[in-house]
Structure 1
Amino acid sequence: MSEHQPGRHMAAEIDQQPGVFADLVARRGDIASVAGAIAARKPRFVLLAARGSSDHAALYAKYLTEVLLQLPAGLVSPSTTTLYGAQPDLRDVLLVTVSQSGGSPDLLEVTESARSRGALTVAVTNTPDSPINAAAELQVDIGAGVERAVAATKTYSATLLALYLLVDAIRGGNGSTVANVGDLARATLDQSADAVAEAVQRYRFVDRVLTTGRGYSLPSALEAALKLAETSYLAARAYSGADLLHGPVAAVDAETAVLAITSTGRGGDALHEVLDAVHGRGADVLAVGSVSDKVSAALRVPVADTAEEVAPILEILPVQRLAHGLSLARGGDPDSPRGLNKVTRTR
């Protein structure tokens, strides 16, 4: 394979994910140790700080925290600290900073500031020697290995799995729900390949894409829109299925491609009404998920069935392949999207 072949790194990193998952599950004891320290502190509230793809992973963790731990959780607005100098009392708060690189200056400042104000701080990164890891009291290494493509694939999905293992261990679980997630990931990539290839051909000339999901799958819809925008330069917009019906559905017509994330569970059930509505307006719907065959859609991409709270780890895999394929079909290089760097430094 030529060193300069477009998309070779992203393709390889997508394919590495089953092995990354298996290795991470095998190291769940390390994450359980961090979870034990958190449980001992008995936090009353959880804050999550992140940017970009990691922000979507943080939203996933918010759902896990509120549903599985029954704790209130929120997403930090870093600029309240970095631009406005807010200094809230964070005693009894758990702050989880999610950053693949561990190098974003604003997230570093948020972590340092929160720790100085009484929060228990945890860094979830792919870079054990990063500044954010050094600033946090506790660390979770997602262990995805070096990622050479600019668009995050294996680091995103591994972050989801690490966050699930962390929350599951806090509630006293042993990770049994994801014991075979590596095998499920391989099955998903293999079984969805033909449908993804068909989707690439169907949507290669589309200009406008709307992505949607409910519940645990909302972060997948957000990540899907980001991947399509950064690799294929599509005008992609993500909505919660509930929010979509509160106005934006009026802009949906026969020229709109809708990528719907729909998996087993309450979130997938709640999306049926939404997809009936957009399908009725003539939209071309691509359904991705374990119940994609049960919704109104023009094309369906299967995903291995699993517990609803685990589904985002798997349902994003064929979406990554779709973004990769569309970028190549449209003449791009998904390894090096224009104007982007691997580490984005914001304040």
Structure 2
Amino acid sequence: MTEASDRNSADPGRHMRGEVEEQPSVFEGLLAERPGIAEIAGIIAQRRPRFALLAARGSSDHAALYAKYLVEVLLELPVGLVSPSTTTLYGASPDLTDVLLLSISQSGGSPDLVEVTETGRSNGATTVAVTNNPDSALNATAELSVDIRAGTERAVAATKSYGATLLALYLLIDAVRGGRGEHARGLPELARTTLDTSADAVSEAARRYRFADRMVTTGRGYSSATAAEAALKLAETSYLSARSYSGADLLHGPIAAVDTETAVLALCGSGRGGEAMREVLSTVHERGADICAIGSATTRVDASHRIAVPDCAEEVAPLLEVLPVQRLALELALARGGDPDSPRGLNKVTRTR
């Protein structure tokens, strides 16, 4: 039986379901590797980079957005997101002396990220590959590498590899500032609790939004990455027209398109980003939108439906918030008659230049 026919068997979504549920054990395994990640962080800290650049595509681009907040808040360094085409299409070769370049790719096989990393290294950057494939071309190109250790992922939609990438980035960046991953230690058990306690609310949300035509996803701060990942997951598995906005940006124009026909998935944690969402969601609620709030502070905002997750430090909250998001994408896809293990027109590895 071929892999494609295996995916399209009588149990659609079983790979994605299993990989979502595997994340607590993936987190445990990765936390055990923190000393090795700390060694790489030590090299970075010794070189004292003057700023950081992040290169990524797809779900990894959303992990890079999370890393952007980590570097700017925890390390207080300026951060930029790389546009790979400036190198691959236009031949730009900037001086990157004393720059940290993090190249994030679950497969490590995208030619544009390999080329960006190669150019960055030759132009003075400290290059670090963050991948789920230690034998990848990206790992071979970068000076340093972090293996996210998520294991083989069979579903096309990235779930456990996304969560593992977030945790690896947190452990790396926290260690650069001299931290010991204190806020991450309880994540495996908190992830299990999240999956267990949110299941009924996620199923209800899938029933509620089964016939939705469009959805807006929104968050502030660290949770902006979760909002972006939510829009991608809903689009690629359920074929929803989903668009992500920062909570701040949502009020600067896009709010005009929000009405009683709009479903809004909002990330609402107990930290500063979540607090900043209260005013945003009050405005969205006034426009009659159906709001599904996900996070540890859902009772503090206007919402039509709530999916609670355990409270934790804000800087690691996206690792928990994304779990019900992934489950919702899975269940919505199944409710709408699709197979999230094999979305139409998509492959596991996308090669771009």
Structure 1 contact 22–180 (Cα < 8 Å) conserved: no
Do structure 1's residue 18 and structure 2's residue 24 form an aligned pair? yes
Query: What's 2:242 paired with?
Result: 236
Query: What's 1:38 paired with?
Result: 44
Query: What's 1:199 paired with?
Result: 205
> 2: CA distance between counterparts of 1:2 and 1:69?
46
Matching residue within 56, 60, 63 for 2:69: 63
Structure 1 residue 304, shift from structure 2 partner:
1.1
Matching residue within 272, 276, 281 for 1:270: 276
> 1: CA distance between counterparts of 2:261 and 2:338?
23
Structure 1 residue 132, shift from structure 2 partner:
0.2
Residue type of the alignment partner of 1:15? E
Do structure 1's residue 334 and structure 2's residue 340 form an aligned pair? yes
Unmatched tracts of structure 2, length 5 or more:
1-6
Structure 1 residue 341, shift from structure 2 partner:
0.2
Q: After superposition, what is the alpha-carbon deviation per residue over 1:189-211, rounded to whole angstroms, capped at 9, x for unaligned?
A: 10100100100110000001000
Structure 1 residue 2, shift from structure 2 partner:
9.6
SS at match of 2:68: helix
Matching residue within 97, 106, 117 for 1:111: 117
SS at match of 2:256: helix
Query: What's 1:246 paired with?
Result: 252
Matching residue within 240, 251, 262 for 1:256: 262
Query: What's 1:309 paired with?
Result: 315
SS at match of 2:292: strand
Structure 1 contact 48–97 (Cα < 8 Å) conserved: yes
Structure 1 residue 29, shift from structure 2 partner:
0.6
SS at match of 2:345: coil
**Mapping of 1:106-145 within 5 angstroms?**
106-145=112-151
Structure 1 contact 104–344 (Cα < 8 Å) conserved: yes
Residue type of the alignment partner of 2:312? T
SS at match of 1:59: helix
Structure 1 residue 55, shift from structure 2 partner:
0.2
TM-score with structure 2 setting the length: 0.97
Matching residue within 156, 161, 168 for 2:174: 168
Q: After superposition, what is the alpha-carbon deviation per residue over 1:56-88, rounded to whole angstroms, capped at 9, x for unaligned?
A: 000100100000001111100000000111111
Q: What's the RMSD between the two structures over aligned residues?
A: 1.0
Structure 1 residue 177, shift from structure 2 partner:
1.0
Matched positions, count: 347
Structure 1 residue 176, shift from structure 2 partner:
1.4
Residue type of the alignment partner of 1:223? E
> 2: CA distance between counterparts of 1:318 and 1:225?
13
Unmatched tracts of structure 1, length 5 or more:
none
Residue type of the alignment partner of 1:262? C
Residue type of the alignment partner of 2:180? N
> 1: CA distance between counterparts of 2:45 and 2:292?
41
Structure 1 residue 312, shift from structure 2 partner:
0.5
Structure 1 residue 5, shift from structure 2 partner:
1.4
Residue type of the alignment partner of 2:311? D
Residue type of the alignment partner of 1:129? D
Task: After the TM superposition, list the runs of 4 or more consecutive aligned residues in structure 1 that deviate by more than 4 angstroms.
Answer: 1-4
> 2: CA distance between counterparts of 1:135 and 1:4?
42
> 1: CA distance between counterparts of 2:11 and 2:195?
22
Q: After superposition, what is the alpha-carbon deviation per residue over 1:181-235, rounded to whole angstroms, capped at 9, x for unaligned?
A: 0000000010100100100110000001000000010000000000000000000
Query: What's 2:3 paired with?
Result: none
Query: What's 1:146 paired with?
Result: 152
Matching residue within 271, 287, 295 for 1:289: 295
Query: What's 1:90 paired with?
Result: 96
Query: What's 2:229 paired with?
Result: 223
Structure 1 contact 128–141 (Cα < 8 Å) conserved: yes
Query: What's 1:190 paired with?
Result: 196
> 2: CA distance between counterparts of 1:82 and 1:119?
17
Do structure 1's residue 49 and structure 2's residue 55 form an aligned pair? yes
> 1: CA distance between counterparts of 2:224 and 2:272?
12
Matching residue within 148, 151, 156 for 2:162: 156
Query: What's 1:280 paired with?
Result: 286
> 1: CA distance between counterparts of 2:262 and 2:43?
48
Structure 1 residue 26, shift from structure 2 partner:
1.1
> 1: CA distance between counterparts of 2:151 and 2:66?
22
> 1: CA distance between counterparts of 2:130 and 2:86?
21
